[in-house]
């Protein structure tokens, strides 16, 4: 889709109805986009239109509604394929989100080839979604989970990779942008290094999709996993990208309708990809809404979104440091979208509860990244995360609220 709109944050904000509401009598400041982004009208209307006018199951009916639903559903796949520069829409497997995409790769791609003593390499800054499925796989096969270290800024220690990338490693799993630290990882470089040893790489792109253009072919990865709700689309829908030949070679993961070509009691043959991996009735409205989210994001120049988001991120990083006793966790040179912090003598949960009374939504806890918390010696952090609709004046509101909250606790 061609670029049609110059980026103007006030116009962008008017696309998101929820931003008009108040919380505890204050204008909502939504700083929890990393958990789930808000949805623009275009996405809400695409879903609404599907249920009002086209609702039917896909791929199964000869009647008009079913054909319309199929076209809309497959249209969502095509839009997403183009958005991430997949070679074909057959390379997009719809899943419930990043978590399910990673589990699919673990069980279908890796499990059949894994032997005791083989290794899976992940980084110290992974979300649990890119740790636990591999741990489960290790328990099932006798393989071993190894960890790429990070430094005190929360950056990948890439210089440790040549020693770690031995012939025992059967897959590298790496987060593109860390949800707990905001670190942007050098994923293309890691892919290049792994490729030299013929090791496949899975990228967890959950946090990257809303912030940076993703070109799966240029990255050189083997698997890219994403979630619709992080990129202004619906919940319950996401995708796994892999090359068609890779998907063809993988056995199906779940069995049922849609994923078969012919079933007898003696034997079953599989459907073509990606249907082979989409057993059962899919999240049709989700795929359509995700397509609308792709259209929405594509209607801006990604460079303009990045400039705006970096301005908010840098301004917030500077202003937060004005607060006595505040420690930013994760100070990588290359960051996007996220600032985690602790405030001396104040538990993050208490902070989050008080800040909510100022109408400000931020997240507190371990952010499903407990090993990162352990690395930095904190049980939890408060986290602000930004979307394309956030502004520097919202950051000012946060600073005022934090200063008042600190008065209350100290
Ligand atoms: N992070 C956060 O608040 P799902 O739930 O499958 O859509 O995405 C899981 C996931 C995987 N990887 C990364 C880097 C993520 O950030 C997430 C989701 C949310 O940070 C919920 S814990």
Tokens coding 270: 């599989």
Atom number in ligand 1 closest to CA 204: 12
Pocket test for ligand 1, best of 174, 179, 231, 339 (most atoms within 8 A of CB): 179
Atom number in ligand 1 closest to CA 32: 3
**CB count, 10 Å around CB of 115?**
10
C-alpha–C-alpha distance, residues 268 and 127, integer Å: 36
**pLDDT at 2 (0 to 100):** 62
pLDDT tens-digit series, residues 132-168: 999 999 999 999 999 999 999 999 999 999 999 999 9
CB 82 within 8 A of CB 295: no
Sorted by sequence, the CB contacts under 8 Å of residue 52 that are 6+ apart come out as: none
C-alpha–C-alpha distance, residues 178 and 34, integer Å: 10
C-alpha–C-alpha distance, residues 169 and 18, integer Å: 46
pLDDT tens-digit series, residues 269-326: 999 999 999 999 999 999 999 999 999 999 999 999 999 999 999 999 999 999 999 9
Residue 32 DSSP code: B
Mean pLDDT across the stretch 91-103? 98
Distance from the alpha carbon of residue 366 to the mean position of ligand 1, in angstroms: 12
CA nearest 237: which of 275, 297, 278? Answer: 278
Nearest CA to ligand 1 atom 17: 206
Distance from the alpha carbon of residue 206 to the mean position of ligand 1, in angstroms: 6
Per-domain boundaries in the chain: 9-40+301-409, 44-298
DSSP string, 74-134: HHHHHHHHHHTT-S-GGGEEEESSHHHHHHHIIIIIIGGG--TT-EEEEETT--GGGTHHH
CB 352 within 8 A of CB 311: no
Atom number in ligand 1 closest to CA 235: 7
Sorted by sequence, the CB contacts under 8 Å of residue 119 that are 6+ apart come out as: 143, 144, 145, 146, 166, 168, 169, 170
Q: Which residues line ligand 1 (CB under 6 A)?
A: 34-35, 97-99, 127, 129, 175, 179, 204, 206-207, 227, 238, 363, 367-368
Tokens coding 311: 């301005």
What are the Cα distances from residue 56, in Å, to 63, 69, 74, 95, 134?
Answer: 9, 6, 14, 19, 37
Mean pLDDT across the stretch 167-177? 98
Atom number in ligand 1 closest to CA 228: 7
Atom number in ligand 1 closest to CA 35: 3
**343 band by pLDDT with thresholds 50, 70 and 90:** very high
Pocket test for ligand 1, best of 207, 210, 239, 337 (most atoms within 8 A of CB): 207
Topology (CATH level 3) of domain 9-40+301-409: 3.90.1150
Distance from the alpha carbon of residue 146 to the mean position of ligand 1, in angstroms: 21
Pocket test for ligand 1, best of 206, 283, 335, 364 (most atoms within 8 A of CB): 206
Residue 3 has pLDDT above 80, yes or no: no
Share of the chain above pLDDT 70, in %: 99
Which positions are catalytic? Answer: 368
**pLDDT at 61 (0 to 100):** 82
**pLDDT at 4 (0 to 100):** 79
Distance from the alpha carbon of residue 205 to the mean position of ligand 1, in angstroms: 9
C-alpha–C-alpha distance, residues 319 and 68, integer Å: 51
CA nearest 261: which of 273, 249, 252, 270? Answer: 270
- Domain 44-298 annotated CATH 1.25.40.10: no
Sign of CA dihedral 319, 325, 330, 332: positive
Distance from the alpha carbon of residue 7 to the mean position of ligand 1, in angstroms: 27
CB 280 within 8 A of CB 256: yes
**pLDDT at 19 (0 to 100):** 98
Which range among 61-65, 146-150, 329-333 shows the weakest confidence by mean pLDDT? 61-65
pLDDT tens-digit series, residues 233-267: 999 999 999 999 999 999 999 999 999 999 999 99
**pLDDT at 44 (0 to 100):** 98
CB 304 within 8 A of CB 384: no
pLDDT tens-digit series, residues 37-60: 999 999 999 999 999 999 999 998
Nearest CA to ligand 1 atom 19: 35
What are the Cα distances from residue 301, in Å, to 1, 62, 309?
Answer: 11, 40, 13
pLDDT tens-digit series, residues 367-408: 999 999 999 999 999 999 999 999 999 999 999 999 999 888
**pLDDT at 249 (0 to 100):** 98
């Amino acid at each position: 889709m061609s670029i049609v709109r110059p980026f103007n944050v006030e116009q962008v904000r008017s696309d998101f109805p929820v931003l008009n509401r108040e919380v505890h009598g204050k204008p909502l400041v939504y700083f929890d986009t990393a958990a789930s982004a808000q949805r623009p009208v275009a996405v809400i209307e695409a879903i609404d239109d599907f249920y009002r006018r086209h609702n039917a199951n896909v791929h199964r009916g000869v009647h008009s509604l079913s054909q319309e639903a199929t076209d809309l559903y497959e249209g969502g796949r095509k839009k997403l394929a183009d958005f991430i520069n997949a070679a074909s829409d057959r390379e997009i497997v719809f899943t419930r989100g990043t978590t399910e995409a990673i589990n699919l790769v673990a069980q279908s791609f890796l499990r059949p080839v894994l032997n005791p003593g083989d290794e899976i390499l992940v980084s110290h800054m992974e979300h649990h979604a890119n740790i636990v499925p591999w741990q489960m796989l290790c328990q099932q096969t006798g393989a071993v989970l190894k960890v790429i270290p990070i430094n005190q800024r929360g950056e990948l220690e890439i210089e440790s990779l040549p020693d770690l990338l031995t012939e025992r490693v059967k897959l590298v799993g790496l987060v593109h942008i860390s949800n707990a630290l905001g670190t942007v990882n050098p994923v293309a470089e890691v892919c290049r290094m792994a490729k030299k040893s013929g090791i496949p790489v899975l990228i967890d792109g959950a946090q990257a999709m809303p912030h940076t253009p993703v070109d799966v072919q240029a990255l050189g990865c083997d698997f890219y996993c994403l979630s619709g709700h992080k990129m202004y689309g619906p919940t319950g829908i996401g995708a796994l990208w892999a090359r068609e030949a890779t998907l063809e070679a993988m056995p199906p993961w779940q069995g049922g309708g849609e994923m078969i070509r012919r079933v007898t009691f003696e034997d079953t043959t599989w459907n073509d990809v990606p249907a082979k991996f989409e057993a059962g009735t899919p999240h049709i409205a989700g795929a359509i809404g995700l397509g609308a989210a792709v259209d929405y994001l594509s209607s801006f120049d990604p460079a303009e979104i990045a400039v705006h988001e970096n301005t908010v991120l840098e301004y917030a990083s500077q202003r937060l440091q004005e607060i006595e006793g505040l420690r930013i966790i994760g100070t990588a040179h290359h960051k996007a979208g996220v600032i985690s912090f602790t405030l001396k003598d104040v538990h993050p949960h208490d902070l989050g509860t008080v800040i909510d009374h100022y109408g400000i939504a931020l997240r507190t806890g371990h952010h499903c990244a407990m090993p990162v918390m352990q690395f930095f010696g904190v049980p939890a952090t408060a986290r602000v995360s930004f979307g394309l609709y956030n502004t520097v004046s919202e950051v000012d509101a946060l600073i005022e609220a934090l200063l008042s909250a600190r008065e209350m606790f100290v």
